[in-house]
Amino acid sequence: MKIILSHDVDHISVWEHRKDMLIPKHIMRSAIEFSLNFITFSEVVKRLNDIIKNKWNNLDELIKYDKANDIPSTFFFGVRNGMLLTYPLSDVNYWATKVFREGLNAGVHGISFDDLTEIRKEYNSFAEITKKNKIGIRMHYLRSNKKTLANLAEAGYQFDSSLPILRAPFKISNLWEFPLHIMDGNILSRNGHWQDQTLEQAKIHTEKIISKGLKLDLKYLTILFHDRYFSDSFITWKKWYMWTIEYLQLNRFEFISFDDAVLELEKVHS
Ligand SMILES: [Zn+2]
């Protein structure tokens, strides 16, 4: 079983959210997590400092960490605004270019999941920025309906990784679907609103999914970690990510990119 790591980039800066309710929501969430003893006072202070310093992405830090650990990860960037993703295309241009320059991979963090014309527009924006013709996608909030995968294939995507089910990759016309197996949010915030798990609980849950994957004889296991949480302001999340990488390395799992996994699958398929 090989491991595919990816990062959804939901926010680049704090100030891009000055017109929505995310900042007060974020402060509320921190207050709840602190009152329930899931985060320390020092994390609360660090989070308030992040707001003052306008620091909500940890892309440089994560690129550096993944490279140092030989992880060919993929960063998914939104090329359209929606569902509290509000950064401009110029940011995608800067960061996706940087990710490729550093030898890692980038794809689209999709907003439209139900309209082929809009799906095509997002594809074209990303293709124009990156000059790539083999593009992958993960939907923001993993949104999909019965037609999403067929529409993504129609738009020209080579892979998607949005379906949260524990099963092997499968093909829909020319598109490979890599179901999503391990997600930071599901591991550390099982209620979907705030952190409600300790690091120890998170480790046990993660080990369980990995061993289920082995039992099912999956050739690839996919893991999502948001760059937003690679920070001492979210110390349990950051420690969970680093522990997961260390655990996988100790158990001699190999890391692979989506692109190389597609090549392997095509070889077997042909
Ligand atoms: Zn997202």
Report the separation in Å between the CA atom of 161 and the middle of ligand 1, taken as the mean of its atom positions: 12
User: Mean per-residue pLDDT for 104-118?
Assistant: 98
Q: Which residues surround ligand 1, an ion (CB under 5 A)?
A: 8, 10, 140
CB 261 within 8 A of CB 222: no
Q: Residue 178 above 90 pLDDT?
A: yes
Q: Kindly give the distance from the C-alpha atom of residue 257 to the centroid of ligand 1, in angstroms, as a whole number.
A: 19
Helix axis angle, 116-130 to 148-155, nearest 10°: 40
pLDDT of res. 176: 98
What is the overall mean pLDDT for the chain? 97
Calculate how far, in angstroms, residue 267's C-alpha sits from the geometric centre of ligand 1: 31
pLDDT in tens, 217-248: 999 999 999 999 999 999 999 999 999 999 99
The stretch 258-267 carries a mean pLDDT of 97
Query: How many angstroms is it from 140 CA to the middle of ligand 1?
Result: 4
Of the candidates 11, 56, 40, 77, the residue with the CA atom closest to the CA atom of residue 239 = 40
Predicted local distance difference test score (pLDDT) of residue 269 = 74
**C-alpha 76 – ligand 1 centre gap (Å):** 8
User: Predicted confidence band at 268 (pLDDT cuts at 50, 70, 90)?
Assistant: confident
What's the CATH number of domain 2-269, 3.60.15.10, 3.20.20.370, 3.30.160.250, 3.30.450.40? 3.20.20.370
